[in-house]
Structure 1
Amino acid sequence: MAITAGQKLTASRLNIRTCRARRTTILSLTTGTLTPVSFDVNDFDNSSLFTAGGTLITLPVAGHWGFSAYGGFASNATGQRRVLVEIGTSGVYPGRDARPAVSGDLTHATCSGSYVASAGDQLRMVVHQTSGGALNLAADAYFSVWYIAS
């Protein structure tokens, strides 16, 4: 909802639809496989956009939505680490980030962007790694969305 000249800023106008889903445990990833991330905690969700245990965030109204996703991958010097934001299960990715692997520390990958949605569209966070073997996504990976404008 846009505020136009002459309108007052009220509490209801500040109620932006938003949520952040977070994973509190590690997730084992198979090399070369796109893996949707399931989240077990809602840090905040003021519009019932997400159900704990799921992978999809549902955008209830049409408009411009922002998103941000983060994943930390276990130390391993081989390959790439990727965080992607996917529209539903379509294989279409409006956001992605790829990082070379880091040895001795987590490889941090973040992805942010925006998406013009129809009411009921869904977004999910997907991760990918090419270490040559199993590798963990660290706890505290998160995925946030927020409504920008109609």
Structure 2
Amino acid sequence: MSTDEVTLASVQTSVDGLRDLFHRRLVEDKAKNRLYEELFHEMTFVRDELVGQFLTPMIVDIVRILDRLDTPGADALVTSVVAELEEALERQGVMSVLASGTFDPTVHDMAGLVESGHVPGGDIVECLRPGYTLGGKTVRPALVTVARTLREAPGLQEAEDND
């Protein structure tokens, strides 16, 4: 064998070794990524369980305290405490439910229907109690009244037909 053939064989052996090493590392990386994904899903599940068992009931209690404190005619100190508690909840990811627009049963509880000629049926007329979400999940639904379209009075249609 000539020197060139030995060098070529040596280079081929090195390339084969590097190819094998690359393939093994690629397989290891895929296994690690799969493991990371499984751990992430388990951590998400555990976090959701902890939120459901411990954090959500505490948030509901804080929101009930806010309901009691946030009354018409409250003094400046009480108003300030309410605002600070609401800001603290927002910093922790607790968001107010939008209590306007169309009724959404996933974030609203209906207290009743109100006949209205100027608000489209199915739209929220009034918010009786604010609602809150945490991480996209409803902690407490907003209590709202919802509009329904006015039905014509039976005598009104007959009077118009006679004219």
TM over 0.5: no
TM-score in terms of structure 2 length: 0.25
Q: Higher helix fraction: Structure 1 or Structure 2?
A: 2
TM-score in terms of structure 1 length: 0.27
Q: Which has the higher contact order (CA 8 A, sep 6+)?
A: 1
